[in-house]
Structure 1
Amino acid sequence: MPDTEPPTHAWHIDDREYRRQEERRGRRYAYTSLDPARTALAVIDMVPFFVDASPYARGIVPNIERLANHLRNAGGTVAWVLPARTDRTPTGDEFHGPETAEMFRDSGGTGPLPDRLWHDFTLGTDDLLVEKSAPSAFFPGRCPLPELLQERGINTVLITGTVTNVCCESSARDAWTLGYRVIMVADANATGRDRDHNATLHTIYRSFGDVRPTTDVLALIRPGARCAAASPRCGSAWSTPTPSTGSGGPSSGTPADARPTPRPTSQSPRWSPTVPHDARPAAGRTLNSSSPATPSADSPTSRTTRPTRRDPNFTQGR
């Protein structure tokens, strides 16, 4: 039989949710413009463990690749986030069961970070490669990504990857809490079922960020894709976020300076100086990578291995 294209989710946002936001703020989308130089594409957990087992995850690869290429060419940041191997815990064993807990601990594979990504992606020399030791890439102390983005003056995060309703949703929520403008790309996230995917999109759109398709986001990345400043429907500009010290929503900021924060030079490290890193580049590339703040002591790095899928239902969640 001829090969068929892998599917993408039949996603939707209810009209009543669009109407709710339009009544609240006078426009459907909160963020009607973005500065590519201050925008990061976060690609969550696109590793063989998840992508091999999910046709929906394979289906979003072309959209993620398009977003990465366009944003990179426009001067933005692409961040590839991989699962770290974490220490075994009694809670993990109790919740998942020891065998499944071990399977998830191995989900990111081992070896140099570039080799652990899904093989169809093209990496740029200025891309970030990081590990996270929690579902969220923005949970304090469990991933160096927030600090790295702050160094680059990033104020807007595009969430893509898998699994929509676990690590992607967790990352979107925590990014908003830290003060980032969050856009979840509807057809560049994947999980096991449409209804799980759409439940997350509903939650994010209602309370944490915009939900838009790849074509909309590409149009925002395109130079000059900004609404007139005098328009009442134009989204506001935000400053570079800093972690909030209160218990409420994102930390407030003054209008951002029109000039983007200078990017690190080729001599500047692209990892947090307090976080261990794996500095070995992939063949033919100069790629910097960071390890989680609390890496597992038993994480092997001498070879690249890919975990086997033992649970046929694991793509429904962790």
Structure 2
Amino acid sequence: MHDAFLPEWAVERGKWLNSFGEIDPARTALVIVDMQGAFVAQGEIFGNPHAEAIIPAVNRLAAAMRAAGGTVIWTRQTVSEEAPLAMAPWQYDPTDARVREAIDALTPGAASHGLHPDMVAAGSDLVLDKYRYSAFGCPSGALEAALRQRGIEMLVIAGTLTNVCCESTARDGYMRGFKVIFLSDATATVCDEEHNAALLSLRLHFADVRDTSAVISMLEQHSNQVTS
């Protein structure tokens, strides 16, 4: 797991834009980005020990969100050759062996495309395929449509990679008017430096950055208020 570090000056400077001390689960979605075999399992094309290490935190948070009545959404990075889902031709060279391996791993039906077997998804969860780094950048618009239909106002972002798909989704969510909480200990990338650089930029401009325990405490606090 990453040695996450966020300087206090960044926390203080970011507070005036994004500081969320309460969660209304009915209007909140946990968006778990790309915890697929291809990005998590050792020996896979993008397998990453940091991503493997956050599995317990992600599962714990998903269970807490469901218990509180919130929405849980899983995304899967997906490759398609059909327009408009297909990437621009210049972005991928399928004659490159590593690119070909990645395309094959992220094609629907491939074992590596599915969620990692240790991820605990429930029947009530949504599983959405995405075709760009940001889950909001998908030509199909599936994520935003699902959020709007459910009256979601806040996103909690977990998954991998911190500084690619997770960060892109958080930024786009903010620009679409959603409150965003980004998990410092339930997101992962390839090294601490990249992880912390993403947390810094997000905290300054786009999201409240908190750890899993803090978010679960806010969910429990809301439940206690409702039942008291």
2:62 maps to 1:64: no
- What is the Cα-based RMSD across aligned positions, in Å? 2.4
Change (3 A) 1:107 1:160: farther
SS at match of 1:106: helix
SS at match of 2:182: strand
2:186 maps to 1:192: no
SS at match of 2:5: coil
1:50 is matched with: 39
Distance 1:134 1:21 in 2: 27
Change (3 A) 1:90 1:110: closer
Shift of 1:204: 0.6
Superposed CA offset, 1:290-316 (max 9, x none): xxxxxxxxxxxxxxxxxxxxxxxxxxx
Q: Aligned pairs, how many?
A: 214
Change (3 A) 1:143 1:48: farther
What's the TM-score, normalizing by structure 2? 0.86
Distance 2:138 2:107 in 1: 23
Change (3 A) 1:60 1:106: same
Shift of 1:226: 9.4
The unaligned stretches of length 5 or more in structure 2 are 42-46, 82-86
2:201 maps to 1:203: yes
Larger Rg: 1
Whether contact under 8 Å (2:104, 2:110) holds in the other structure is no
Distance 1:91 1:65 in 2: 37
What amino acid is the match of 1:38? R
Distance 1:199 1:103 in 2: 29
Distance 1:97 1:202 in 2: 37
What amino acid is the match of 1:30? S
Superposed CA offset, 1:170-207 (max 9, x none): 11111111111111100000011000000000011001
Whether contact under 8 Å (1:36, 1:75) holds in the other structure is yes
What's the TM-score, normalizing by structure 1? 0.62
Task: Note the 1:136-155 alignment, pairs <5 A.
Answer: 136-139=134-137, 141-155=139-153
* Equivalent residue for 2:216, pick from 218, 235, 245: 218
Distance 1:226 1:168 in 2: 30
Distance 1:17 1:152 in 2: 33
SS at match of 1:18: helix
Shift of 1:99: 3.1
Change (3 A) 1:223 1:18: closer
SS at match of 2:190: coil
SS at match of 2:35: coil
Whether contact under 8 Å (1:47, 1:108) holds in the other structure is no
Whether contact under 8 Å (2:3, 2:192) holds in the other structure is yes
Change (3 A) 1:11 1:140: same
Change (3 A) 1:65 1:55: same
| Greater relative contact order structure (CA < 8 Å, 6+ sep) | 2
What amino acid is the match of 2:55? V
Task: Note the 1:269-308 alignment, pairs <5 A.
Answer: none
Whether contact under 8 Å (2:14, 2:205) holds in the other structure is no
Whether contact under 8 Å (1:162, 1:191) holds in the other structure is yes
2:67 maps to 1:73: yes
Distance 2:62 2:14 in 1: 29
Distance 2:120 2:37 in 1: 15
2:78 maps to 1:84: yes
Whether contact under 8 Å (2:54, 2:185) holds in the other structure is yes
Distance 2:149 2:126 in 1: 12
Change (3 A) 1:89 1:100: farther
Change (3 A) 1:169 1:119: same
